[in-house]
Amino acid sequence: MANWFFSILLKSTFLLLTLVSGLVWSSVVVDASEETLTEEKPVIEPEVYRREIDESKIDSENFEATVFAGLMSVEDFGVNNIIGARLAFHVSEGFFFEAGVGQTTTTKTSYERLSGSVELLTNEQRRLSYYNLSVGYNLLPGEAFLTRKLAFNTAFYLIGGIGSTTFAGDDRYTINYGFGYRFLATDWLAVHADVRNHVFDMELLGEKRSTNNIEMSLGLSIFF
């Protein structure tokens, strides 16, 4: 009887010990695995977006492409429609470099019209085209107030440069200078109003002389 009782007690104690030790072991294992987990992932993250900022990834808008149309007065050859394009690179808030092209077809001189039959130039020679490389300076940056709550950034700039004009069959060294007004509708879209004088020599009507050819234009530009 006592033996039977002791064997039951022994067996149950053993079972209990196994159970307890199993539980303890499993809890230890769970703890250990939890510990390894917590080691990999700290409870408090200092910053989710932990990263450096690459300067070159910041979108820069220093180039400006313009298309323009207007009127160009070509000395002796009438006032005619002109179209063209410009590409500017903004170096600082003040200075910018600009490359431009333009084209117009000139009309007859008063002399040709009055005389009736005289033709000074062929149709091909009447076409005037130019290119230029210029430097501009935003002299008067400012704001234009359309309404009480609506303001736009603007700039009045001076510009000048060198280039070549192809007219009356020849390439002519040309100096250009003038001024313009830039109206920024948004950060990347602007409207331009420009007045530019193109000075080049002409020898077509006798002696060689310097001519002033004034261009007025309206342009639309995008920054990229």
Partner 1 sequence: MFYQGILLFCSLLLLGFAQAQDDIPRVQVADPYLEMQTGAGSGYPVYHVVERGEWVQILKRKTEWFKVRTERGKEGWVRREQMARTLTPAGAPLQIHDVAEGDFARRRWEMGISSGDFSGATIISAWTDYSFTHNLSLELSASHILGSYSSSIMGNVSLLAHPFPEWRFSPYFALGTGVIQTTPKTALVQTRDRMNNTSHVGLGLRVYLTKRFIMRFDYKNLVIFSSQNENQEISVWQIGFSAFY
Exactly one of 47, 148, 150, 206 binds partner 1 (CB under 8 A); which one?
Answer: 47
Rounded Cα–Cα distance for residues 185 and 69 (Å): 19
Of 10-18, 59-67, 76-84, 102-110, the segment contacting partner 1 by CB under 8 A is 59-67
**Under 8 Å CB-to-CB from 221, ≥6 apart: which residues?**
64, 65, 66, 67, 86, 88, 182, 189, 190, 191, 192
173 binds partner 1 (CB under 8 A): yes
Contact string 7-36 vs partner 1 (x = CB under 8 A): ------------------------------
Q: Which of 13, 33, 38, 60 binds partner 1 (CB under 8 A)?
A: 60
State how far the Cα of 115 lies from the Cα of 126, in Å rounded to an integer: 18
Q: Which residues of 142-155 are buried (b: 16+ CB within 10 A; e: fewer)?
A: eeeeeeeeeeeebb
Can you tell me the distance from the alpha carbon of 188 to that of 78, in angstroms, rounded to the nearest whole number? Answer: 36
Does position 186 interact with partner 1 (CB under 8 A)? The reply is: no
**Counting contacts by CB under 8 A, is residue 128 touching partner 1?**
no
- Judged by CB under 8 A, the residue of 1, 43, 58, 150 near partner 1 is 58
Residue 168: strand pairing partners: none
Residue that is written with structure tokens 């001519």 in the block = 211
Q: Does 207 bind partner 1 (CB under 8 A)?
A: no
- What is the phi/psi pair of residue 3, to 5°? -60, -45
The answer to the question of residue 192 lying near partner 1 (CB under 8 A) is no
129 near partner 1, rule: CB under 8 A: no
Q: Which stretch binds partner 1 (CB under 8 A): 57-65, 112-120, 189-197, 213-221?
A: 57-65
> What element of type H or E holds 114?
helix 110-115
CB of residue 213 vs partner 1: minimum separation in angstroms?
A: 16
Question: Rounded to a whole number, what is the distance in angstroms from the first to the last CA of the chain?
Answer: 100
Residues that bind partner 1 (CB under 8 A): 47, 49-53, 55, 57-62, 90-93, 125, 133, 138, 141-143, 151, 153, 162-164, 168-173, 187, 203-204, 223
